[in-house]
Amino acid sequence: MSLTAADVAEIMRLVEQSGFDELTLEIDGMKLSLRRGASAESSVGGAGQVLAAAVPILPVAQTSAISSASAPRSVESKAPADPSVHEVTSPLLGTFYRAPKPGAPPFVEVGAQVDEETVVAIIEVMKLMNTVRAGVRGTVAEILLGDGALAEYGETLLRVRKSG
């Protein structure tokens, strides 16, 4: 797998909108490092090849996940005081979608019954769609992000009131 210029531009857009200061991505021997506020050079390539870029740079951690060592921006939502409420969080930094495709009905609405395997959303990262599952049996109590919003790693996407 190789990264296209469009892929790199999308990664840079996502990082710019996030609270991350650095991001490093390694795919099949190619490494892309981005650093916010750094000098205008990045390392892209394998075998020590270095290419210059006229944009700020950030590092990326894994092929399809953001390293938990990177510090995301502080998330505005507070932890629920009620232990019977489960927060479904974003497993990745990416774009949050409530439906499988534009114009389709959302996966879930407030009041919908879900179980551990129910798909409640998708997070798009570099044109890859990653499903987000409820993780618990219960009723959707609140949806915190709008369709198409940028979701930070670990950010609460929705809350489910546990049943039983």
Mean pLDDT score across all residues of the chain? 74
**Total domains present in the chain:** 2
Q: Which domain holds residue 138?
A: 85-162
Q: Residue 44 to residues 20, 25, 48, 148: CA-CA distances in angstroms?
A: 19, 10, 9, 29
Whole-number Å distance between alpha carbons of 23 and 4? 17
Is the same domain home to 64 and 131? Answer: no
The verdict on residue 5 lying in a domain is yes
Is the same domain home to 42 and 67? Answer: yes
Dmax (CA) of the chain:
57
Closest by CA to 96, choosing from 9, 14, 12, 2, is 14
The verdict on residue 21 lying in a domain is yes
Residue 1 has pLDDT above 90, yes or no: no
Helix (H, G, I), strand (E, B) or coil at 11: helix
The DSSP output letter for 128 is E
Confidence of residue 70 (pLDDT cuts 50, 70, 90): very low
The CATH code of the domain that includes 105 is 2.40.50.100
Is the same domain home to 23 and 61? Answer: yes
Q: Which of 40, 71, 102 is the last residue of a domain?
A: 71
